[in-house]
């Protein structure tokens, strides 16, 4: 078993009740489910933040395509696909 630590959080009575129902229905503890939810949330949020930071680094390094150029390319591809359909 991996090491763990204790953390106290506050939730509304409604969330606590729902978590209790979920724990009972899944035969898991509330603690297990809460830890899984927090871990999933933290991983997702970190991915988002890292993506934003990567994007900002690309902007700073000028590794971007201007919006107008990207849209022109997209319109060109769509028009070519429509022409092939005809």
Give the span between the Cα atoms of 59 and 70, in whole angstroms.
Answer: 15
**pLDDT score of 66:** 95
Q: Exposure string (b/e) for 43-73, b if CB count within 10 Å is 16 or more? A: eeeeeeeeeeeeeeeeeeeeeeeeeeeeeee
Q: Give the model confidence (pLDDT) of 42-73 as tens digits.
A: 999 999 999 999 999 999 999 999 999 999 99
**pLDDT score of 2:** 77
C-alpha gyration radius of the chain: 24
- The gap between the terminal CA atoms of the chain, to the nearest Å, is 62
Tell me the percentage of the chain whose pLDDT exceeds 90: 97
For residue 1, is pLDDT > 70?
no
Mean per-residue pLDDT of the chain? 96
What is the reported pTM?
0.72
């Amino acid at each position: 078993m991996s090491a763990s630590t204790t953390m106290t959080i506050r939730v509304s009575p409604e969330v606590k009740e729902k978590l209790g129902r979920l724990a009972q229905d899944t035969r898991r503890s509330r603690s297990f489910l809460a830890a899984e939810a927090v871990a999933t949330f933290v991983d997702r949020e970190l991915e988002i933040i890292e993506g934003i930071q990567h994007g900002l680094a690309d902007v700073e390094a000028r590794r971007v395509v201007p919006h107008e150029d990207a849209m022109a390319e997209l319109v060109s591809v769509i028009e070519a696909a429509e022409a092939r359909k005809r």
